Amino acid sequence: MIGRELKLLAGNANRPLAEEVSAALGIELCQATVGRFSDGEVRVKIDETVRGADVFVIQPTSPPVNDNLMELLIMVDALRRASVRQVVAVIPYYGYARQDRKHIGRVPISARLVANLLETAGVDRVLTMELHVGQIQGFFNIPVDNLRTDPVFADYIRDTEPDLSDMIVVSPDVGGLGRARRLAEQLHLPLAVLEKRRNADGIGIKEIRVIGEVRGKRAILIDDIVSTGGTLAHAAQVLIDHGTVEVCACCTHGVFAGDAIQTLKNSPLKKVIVTNTISHGQAEKEEFIEYIPVGEHLAKTIRRIFENKSVSHLFPLH
C-alpha cells in the first residue's frame, strides 16, 4: 500500500504565517506560481506533482477579501484537476463571516455563499480560527474545525502578568459573552459585560450599561475581530468612565481597516494584542500592538487531521 503524503500550499494572503506552519511541521511549501495575468485574473500553476496527496491550502480570506478568496478557490480547482486525494482549506480568518444572517430585508447571507463556493470548488474540509459566530459551521456540508483562541490569550496573559489579582475580563457586547467567559474561567478572573441599548431605529446606541464591578480593576477586553477599532475604543472609554484604571484588548483577527490605528491610538487602550491570522502590514510597526504567533497551533492541528486523530483533544472547539 502506498503511504499518504502531506503537502502544504500557500497563497499570497499571509505568506509569513504559511512559512511559520511549514517550519513547525518540517515540511516545505509546495512549489507553485500564484500571481496575476496581465488583465488582473488570478494565475495559478502547481509546479510539482501532488497526485494522491493530502494538500492543506493556507489562505486567510482577509483584505483584499475578494482577491484572496478567488486565489483560494482557483488554487483548490487546480489541485482537484491535479488528482489530489484531499483538499483541506486552512482559512485562519474567514472573510464575509459578519454577513451571517439577514438583519434587515433584501440583504444576502454572504457567509453561506462563501461556504457554497468552497464546497463547489472541491474543498473536503475547512480549518479556521475563531469564527465570528460558530453557527457558520452549519453552512457547510463538510467538516469544519473552528479553533478557539482564548487558550492562546490565557497563556499569553499568564506569561506576561505576574499578578492577576486586580484584573477583570470584559466582553464589549452581549454577543461575545461566551468568549469572555471562557477566558475568565481559564484565568480564574471575574467577568463583566457591556450592554448596548439601541435607539428605536435599531442603529444608534442610546446608552451602554456596564454589568459587573470594574472600578479599580485592570480590564481585559476580548473580541474576535478589530476592524475599524470603534467598538474597542468606545468600550475602553466607557470602562475608564466607570473607574477602570487600565484597559487592554485581546482580539484574534487584526483587520485594522481605514483609520483603525489612529482610532485606537486616541483611545484609553494601553495595548492591543492580536494573533497573526492576518498579515498586518503597517500595523506591525506600532508599539502598542502586540502579536501572538499561531503557526505552531495550526501546524499541530494539521498534523492531527492528517493522522486522523482528534483535534478537540488539542484545542477545544466551539
Residue 204 counted as domain residue: yes
User: Looking at residue 70, what is its pLDDT?
Assistant: 99
Instruction: Please report whether residue 313 resides in a domain.
Output: no
Peptide bond into 293 cis (omega under 30): no
Residue 208 has a CB neighbour count (10 Å cut-off) of: 18
Write out pLDDT tens, residues 238-269: 999 999 999 999 999 999 999 999 999 999 99
Query: How much is the pLDDT for 317?
Result: 47
- Does some domain include residue 317? no
Q: Is the domain of 195 the same as that of 156?
A: yes
pLDDT in tens, 90-136: 999 999 999 999 989 999 999 999 999 999 999 999 999 999 999 99
Q: Which of 78-82, 198-202, 226-230 has the lowest mean pLDDT?
A: 198-202
Residue 202 reports pLDDT greater than 60: no
16 pLDDT higher than 80 = yes
Question: Per-residue pLDDT tens for 138-193?
Answer: 999 999 999 999 999 999 999 999 999 999 999 999 999 999 999 999 999 999 99
Q: Same structural domain for residues 279 and 165?
A: yes
Quote the crossing angle between the two packed helices 15-25 and 295-306, to the nearest 10°: 60
Nearest CA to 93 among 279, 272, 220? 279
Count: domains in the chain = 2
- Give this prediction's pTM: 0.94
Judgement on whether residues 95 and 186 belong to the same structural domain of the protein: no
DSSP code string of 177-204: HHHHHHHHHHHT--EEEEEEEE-TTSSS
- Residue 106 within a domain: yes
Q: Tell me the pLDDT of the chain averaged across its residues.
A: 94
Query: Exposed (0-12), middle (13-18) or buried (19+): which is 287, by Cβ within 10 Å?
Result: exposed
Query: What Rg do the C-alpha atoms of the chain give, in angstroms?
Result: 20
Catalytic sites, residue numbers: 196
What domain range is 76 assigned to?
6-148+295-306
d(CA 18, CA 13): 9
**Lowest-pLDDT range, 70-74, 175-179, 199-203, 215-219?**
199-203
